Amino acid sequence: MPQGDKSSYTDKQKRKAAHIEKGYEHRGVSHEEAESRAWATVNKESGGGKKSGSGRGKTESHASSRKGGHKGGSSQSSSSRSAAAKKGWETRRHEAHH
C-alpha cells in the first residue's frame, strides 16, 4: 500500500481510487503501481483528503480523468498523417477546378 493514512479521505474518494486502480490493472500495470497512480490521481483532482463540513475545500478538477487513455499524442504515424494531408490537398485542389 502507498504511504500515508487514508482515513482523511471521503468514501467517494476511496471508491474513485479503487475504480482508477482497477482501470490501470486492466491495462497491465502492476498492483502496487496502479494503487500508487490511483491515489496520485485522486490527490491531483481533489487536492488530497477532505475534511467534512459544508463549504469547505475547493471544487474538483477532472482534467486528469478526461485525459485517461489518450495521453501520448496521435495514434497515426507521421508518414501516414503526411500522406493523408497530401491526399486532402489534392482532393480540395481538384474540387476547386470543377
85: which 3 cell numbers?
A: 494531408
What are the boundaries of each domain within the chain? 8-49
pLDDT in tens, 15-70: 999 999 999 999 999 999 999 999 999 988 887 877 666 666 677 777 777 776 65
Q: Model pTM?
A: 0.56
Identify whether the C-beta of residue 24 lies closer than 8 Å to the C-beta of residue 33: yes
**61: alpha, beta or left, given left = phi > 0 and alpha = psi -120 to 50?**
beta
